[in-house]
Structure 1
Amino acid sequence: MPGASRPVGGPGLPQARRIVSEIPGPRSRELLARQRTSVPAGVGAVLPVFVAAAGGGVIVDVDGNSFIDFGSGIAVTTVGNSAPAVVERAAEQLRRFTHTCFLVNPYESYLDVCERLNELSPVPGEKRTILVNSGAEAVENAVKIARAATGRPGIVVFDHAFHGRTLLTMSLTAKNKPYKQGFGPFAPEVHRAPMAYPYRWPTGPADCAEEAADALEDLLDRQVGAENVAAVLVEPIQGEGGFVVPAPGFLPRVAEICRARGILLIVDEIQAGIARTGRMFACEYENVRPDLITTAKGLAGGLPLGAVTGRAELMDAVPAGGLGGTFSGNPVACEAALGVFDAIETGGLLERALELGDTMLARLAELADAHPVVGDVRGRGAMVAVELVEPFGDRVPAPDLAARIARRCHTDGLLVLTAGSYGNVLRFLPPLSISDALLDEGLTILAEAVAKEAASAAV
């Protein structure tokens, strides 16, 4: 497709599903052939079509196909792929200067983003924020800060957790393939506790929170030694692990356990934070107030930016030069983040996330009633998932079924993502800019795909 004829993103992009070729189409296949000779095989794609434009609730590929977006770049484009406030601020900054390195010549937009995060985050007391390039880098820095502030080495994480692909964050991540296999040895002093996963807790959901918290206490006191643990790191809703919403009461109990032992609580809000769940931070649902909180993904509307926000005395425990990076807090990304905050506030996007969630949960509950392969429906706000199981019962994970449903959705013009420790979860992360009509159409496509694939699975 010639450059002059490429569709333009933003408000003018037609908000309609449109499939005009096979998936992927001929132009995407040409580009995929180039990819295979220039990009390592380890870099894959969920839906291998090359994007020409995106905005609102659609992604348009180079062959002219328009897909309904239920992925948001894995929760990156929460406010939309081309939100005007983000685009305008970033474009204006590009005209001023692209970068200087905050460690050499600081600029005001970095301070503006830090002050907004300090104001919005549920961390108690006086706060500080550092800006970085990614979610994994935010987690790494949070661990560094916790260790420096406590003088302790140990980090406790949870089963089904995902925290990144760097050496340390791979070590913190639970799932072996594809994230860890062949990449060891891993970082030491990482300890893993069971997650309060209601659907899969051995004794059932009623006692899940209490028993999981008891297991955490046993790990800290008997196996590791609480005096050796710098921090407990937890996602308020697990992302790659399958959108696991911890059993009610578990997160507050984790916070209490940490406080009683002088252990810091780090909440990883990289996927769940920045308005995705209908709150600015998902931990606010249970009034959890962490010592440190990490953000990224939706923070800058698609530009690379992450952050660690924490109690001032902890953040200031690291000596000068111990934090930072050449590209960290790039001014264009900072302006984009300020545009994200503007879009959330002026567009009523917290309320919009709740509306989208209510619609999705209601429709997916109907799907679960109709099809036993839909074992669980869960989520908060516009962060919702279904867990798929084999039709003969016993909650046996059905990853092949999840993959088939996802492929059928893609062919029919709906982008969905899979997740979960067993690969059997379909997760839905529509941009908050999606229309009601597109959301409804996407859910209808999903329902038809589930019905067709569930029928074949039952044969």
Structure 2
Amino acid sequence: MEFPHVSSALGIVHPLRIEQGVNAEVWDSQGHRYIDFVAGIGVHNLGHGHPAIRTALHHQVDRLIHAAFNATPHGGYLDLVAALDTFVPVSYPLTTMLTNSGAEATENALKIARAHTGREAVIAFDDGFHGRTLAALNLNGKVKPYKQSMGSLPGPVYHLPFPSPDNDVTDAEASAALVRLCEVSLPVDEIACVIVEPVQGEGGFRRLSPGFARHLRDFCNHHGIVLIFDEIQCGFGRTGERFAFSHLEVEPDLLLMGKSMAAGVPLAAVAGRAELMNAVPKGGLGGTYSGNALACAAALKVIELMSEDNLARWSQTVALAILAHYHTWQDSQRYPMIGAITGIGAMRGIVFEDTCNASGSEHLAALVSTAREHGLLLMPSGRKRNILRLFPPLTIEPEILEEGLSRLGRALDTLTP
């Protein structure tokens, strides 16, 4: 399918024209049905068109569609930031700024860290992803395609290896790299912030090591550095907890939220300790559409629906089904390209390895195409695009989940000689 009038710089994974979505199912302009394991790249944790979200939006449309909060504050914004103070599991009172997108939340977090510390340098991690705007680009731990042809990027930014149970980087190696960085390249008193995903999204659903997370927290405390957790993709229930940092037992100074925050209506946020959030001069934060009334209404309903019981049940259902099929595929020894499984809860990736006849990325590209022909939408990830990320809605019906995983198995059959 061709897309005239659309910039060719947009990389399209699935050349479709989607017209309708209900929970984990979507239909294209030709009426073809697909099971959606992409879910808006993690936006639809509650599925397409959750009835309670639709009702909240219809009600809000009849009351107020938009008011620019910087000029005329509205109740939805105020109600939502109050709800986030209760919903986000940190020990301190939460101060929040709403934004339109995750990248915008990232950019504002950098501004806040600079204003609070009076420093500029940032530490980020290999394979991380934090957005496509200019300053966010430099944080990303991957050149292609994000940093190509961009020239000099805002900085300074330094990258460390990402230690994880899902890769071969140890805590000791990452800690040694941090020591070396501060001895060779970067005075520690010039570091404004460290930004990291508790579970990498674009990087392949890899978990941050809890031990290294604690080391980072101690390092930042000792040197007056702001610790930023980017939960734009892994937050709002994807890992079985409200936020993935709960698995680490470490609190951030600033938290980035987005994607599934408002169930498909554009909304994100940067939130954290008041002394940081209030460090920027008055008027230095804001935006015309930031905290739009419709988006706030949707987010308030998302928070209401994401009770602890629901999150635990949804995550367990999705995780157990994925793990059962994965182990069946791996134990069969029919698919030599299938490597390790990554992630936690309902945030799972499958690594595709090189074989004698194709690279892992080639195997995954073929799988994504073939699965679409079987009525299943999938999404690649990883530096080499060789990690399949599975993103079914948390609310997916068990029978639809089983159908989707069975279709994935049939697509895998086409990869074997």
Output the TM-score relative to the length of structure 2: 0.95
- The residue aligned with 2:71 is 104
Partner SS for 1:96: coil
CA–CA distance in structure 1, aligned partners of residues 188 and 83 of structure 2: 34
1:117 correspondence with 2:81 = no
CA–CA distance in structure 2, aligned partners of residues 290 and 146 of structure 1: 13
- The residue aligned with 1:389 is 353
Partner SS for 2:203: coil
8 Å CA contact 2:234–2:244 kept in 1: the answer is: yes
Aligned residue identity for 2:157:
V
- The residue aligned with 2:340 is 376
Superposed displacement of residue 239, structure 1: 0.5
Partner SS for 2:177: helix
Structure 1 residues 345 and 247, CA gap change in structure 2 (3 angstroms): closer
8 Å CA contact 1:123–1:291 kept in 2: the answer is: no
Given candidates 224, 229, 236, the residue that maps to 2:198 is: 236
8 Å CA contact 1:122–1:288 kept in 2: the answer is: no
CA–CA distance in structure 1, aligned partners of residues 261 and 67 of structure 2: 21
Given candidates 218, 223, 244, the residue that maps to 1:282 is: 244
Given candidates 317, 321, 333, the residue that maps to 2:283 is: 321
- The residue aligned with 1:220 is 182
Contiguous gaps of at least 5 residues in structure 1: 1-28
Partner SS for 2:388: strand
Give matches, 1:31-430, under 5 Å. 32=2, 35-36=3-4, 38-201=5-168, 208-345=170-307, 348-369=310-331, 370=333, 371-392=335-356, 398-430=360-392
CA–CA distance in structure 2, aligned partners of residues 160 and 309 of structure 1: 24
Superposed displacement of residue 58, structure 1: 0.3
Between stretches 89-98 and 414-423, larger displacement belongs to 89-98
8 Å CA contact 2:242–2:311 kept in 1: the answer is: no
CA–CA distance in structure 1, aligned partners of residues 208 and 184 of structure 2: 24
Partner SS for 2:271: strand
CA–CA distance in structure 1, aligned partners of residues 207 and 324 of structure 2: 17
The one-character-per-residue Cα deviations of 1:370-406 (angstroms, maximum 9, x if unpaired) are: 333111101112111101011259xx96111110011
Superposed displacement of residue 363, structure 1: 1.8
CA–CA distance in structure 2, aligned partners of residues 139 and 421 of structure 1: 21
Superposed displacement of residue 347, structure 1: 7.8
CA–CA distance in structure 1, aligned partners of residues 385 and 159 of structure 2: 20
CA–CA distance in structure 2, aligned partners of residues 147 and 358 of structure 1: 43
CA–CA distance in structure 1, aligned partners of residues 210 and 255 of structure 2: 20
Superposed displacement of residue 341, structure 1: 1.2
8 Å CA contact 1:305–1:328 kept in 2: the answer is: yes
The one-character-per-residue Cα deviations of 1:86-108 (angstroms, maximum 9, x if unpaired) are: 11111211122221200111011
The one-character-per-residue Cα deviations of 1:55-98 (angstroms, maximum 9, x if unpaired) are: 12101111111101111100001111101221111121112222
8 Å CA contact 1:236–1:246 kept in 2: the answer is: yes
- The total of aligned residue pairs comes to 415
Contiguous gaps of at least 5 residues in structure 2: none
Superposed displacement of residue 238, structure 1: 0.6
CA–CA distance in structure 1, aligned partners of residues 212 and 64 of structure 2: 46
The one-character-per-residue Cα deviations of 1:214-255 (angstroms, maximum 9, x if unpaired) are: 322332344211100011000001111111123342222222
Output the TM-score relative to the length of structure 1: 0.87
